[in-house]
Amino acid sequence: MEDEKFSPSESLQLIQSMIDKTKSSLSSNSHYFLLWGWLTFAACTGQFVLKHFLAYEKHYQVWGVVLIGIAGTIYLAVRDARTRKVKTYVDEMMNHLWIGMGITFFIVSMILSKIGWGSTVFPFFMVLYGLGTFVTGSVIKFKPLIIGGIISWILAVIGVYLTYDYQILMGALAILFSYIIPGHLLRNKK
């Protein structure tokens, strides 16, 4: 098959079409942002209450809800793969980004569990929340994700100067602004 020659405006139209299809696909798949957003928000606030108010020694166990998120993500991914009609290059890039983010969260968790969670865990995670949503928002040109990513980064910097208990709350705020609010806005765009 001979390569087609595109004019610069046709090339831009093709790229914009791919971005629009990906944005539509992501708005249909906003359930990933909402699933992980609400689970993480619940874990952060639950851990804060268990540690700060109830002085529960094993407050970190609330993060077992991550297993629900993993199972939910697998179920949704299989379901979405069956119904997806078209997969663009941008869709594939977003898929690789978020798989990479998941692997990075896992590796960072392993490293921190080895060297100690201390006062670094939530700022590290907030930086990652920001990275994933900023890049996604930039690629699909969706400002709430971009803004949510920037807010996550700002909260990570602030979190470094707070005690662990209040870093947990900063983590919940970062999730609210980077996953939950943009996730609902994406779903409403559908």
Report if residue 15 sits inside a domain: no
Among 142, 125, 160, smallest CA distance to 41 is for 125
Report if residue 2 sits inside a domain: no
What are the tens digits of pLDDT across the range 3-42? 667 777 877 777 777 666 665 666 667 999 999 999 999 9
pLDDT at position 23 is 59
Report if residue 10 sits inside a domain: no
**How many domains, in total, are found in the chain?**
1
pLDDT at position 60 is 92
- Reported as type and span, the H/E element at residue 22 is helix 8-28
Q: What is the CA radius of gyration of the chain?
A: 18
Report if residue 4 sits inside a domain: no
Expressed as residue numbers, the domain containing 138 is 28-184
For residues 169 and 32, what is the distance between their CA atoms, to the nearest angstrom? 22
Cα 183 to chain centroid distance, Å, stands at 10
Give the rounded percent of residues in the chain with a pLDDT score beyond 90.
65
Reply yes or no on whether the pLDDT at 106 is more than 50.
yes
What are the tens digits of pLDDT across the range 150-182? 999 999 999 999 999 999 999 999 999 999 999
Whole-model pTM: value is 0.85
Report if residue 8 sits inside a domain: no
